[in-house]
Amino acid sequence: MLQFLVAFLVIPSAVKPLTVAEYLAQPESEDAAKLEGQAFVDYINQQQSFFEAEYSPDAEEFVRSRIMDIKFAVDPERKEPKDVLANTEFKVNLPEKFDARERWPNCTSLKYTRDQSNCGSCYAVSAASVMSDRACILSNGRINRILSDTEVMSCCIPNCGSGCNGGQPSRVFGYAWRHGICTGGRYREKDACQPYAFYPCGQHKNQPYYGPCSNRLWPTPTCRKTCQLGYPIPFEKDKIFSELALSGNSNLLNNLK
């Protein structure tokens, strides 16, 4: 019995380990393709001895946060007809260079770079940036404020998007037309109704550094119909509305002419 036990223990150590080529040549298991998380990591460690995998929930969340949700790939509610812009000749003399900051030096937003932090709010940040620029340019500097991306990502749900989980920038322009958008600014900025909700992940010149961000997305901020404490203007009085919201290349060109 003792001889059998010794033989039993020795036999596994004599098995020749798989080479990389042999391992890759093995057929993929259909059951393995369905595994996730710790179960998938355990399967990997059981099937090979080249390295030891370790499950990291933070790493998984980080990767997931960088992948756009499938619901944003196709917009089923978009009913506008497909508008293909034909080749159009513009009889204008284009300058060798153009800098909007020099053309409209009094427009603060043109020199303002936003940091969306660890939040998938690019749709809100970009749309609010565009509208801030256009409002200042079209009003000849009379409207010279930063529009709040925080209001957009927290209050225009689900029409514009899903907060920190992404959205449709084109929908934000309709929101500004129907509801208006209050003033915003950088994290903890005082001279704004609703400044950005999260501190920047990067280090920026002449700006405070609050530390690194985690790998996980920030939770979407709660929609609030009030301005921050100490701001003197009521929320509804602080709103800036767009006069119209256009879509389609032809409509946009006609409006610019």
- 50 and 120 in a single domain? The answer is no
Q: What pLDDT sits at residue 87? A: 65
In a domain, 221, yes or no: yes
Q: What pLDDT sits at residue 61? A: 72
Q: What pLDDT sits at residue 199? A: 94
64 Cβ neighbours under 8 A, 6+ residues apart: none
In a domain, 256, yes or no: no
Q: What pLDDT sits at residue 253? A: 47
Q: What pLDDT sits at residue 50? A: 87
pTM score above 0.85: no
- 226 and 160 in a single domain? The answer is yes
- 130 and 42 in a single domain? The answer is no
- 198 and 98 in a single domain? The answer is yes
Q: What pLDDT sits at residue 218? A: 93
In this structure, the dihedral spanned by the alpha carbons of residues 122, 127, 133 and 139, taken in order and rounded to 10 degrees, is -160
In a domain, 2, yes or no: no
- 135 and 51 in a single domain? The answer is no
Provide the mean pLDDT of the chain: 83
Q: Check residues 176 and 15 and name the one with the higher pLDDT.
A: 176
Q: How many CB atoms lie within 10 A of CB 230?
A: 7
Contact status, residue 66 vs residue 59, Cβ threshold 8 Å:
no
Residue 19 has pLDDT above 70, yes or no: yes
Q: Residue 7: pLDDT band by 50, 70, 90 thresholds?
A: very low
- 31 and 137 in a single domain? The answer is no
108 Cβ neighbours under 8 A, 6+ residues apart: 136, 144, 145, 146
Q: What pLDDT sits at residue 143? A: 93
Q: Residue 186: pLDDT band by 50, 70, 90 thresholds?
A: very high
| First and final C-alpha spacing in the chain | 96
- 46 and 152 in a single domain? The answer is no
- Burial label for 154, CB within 10 Å (0-12, 13-18, 19+), is buried
In a domain, 112, yes or no: yes
Residue 194 has pLDDT above 60, yes or no: yes
11-20, 42-51, 139-148, 216-225: least confident range: 11-20
In a domain, 206, yes or no: yes
Contact status, residue 185 vs residue 191, Cβ threshold 8 Å:
yes
Q: What is the CATH number of the domain that holds 143?
A: 3.90.70.10
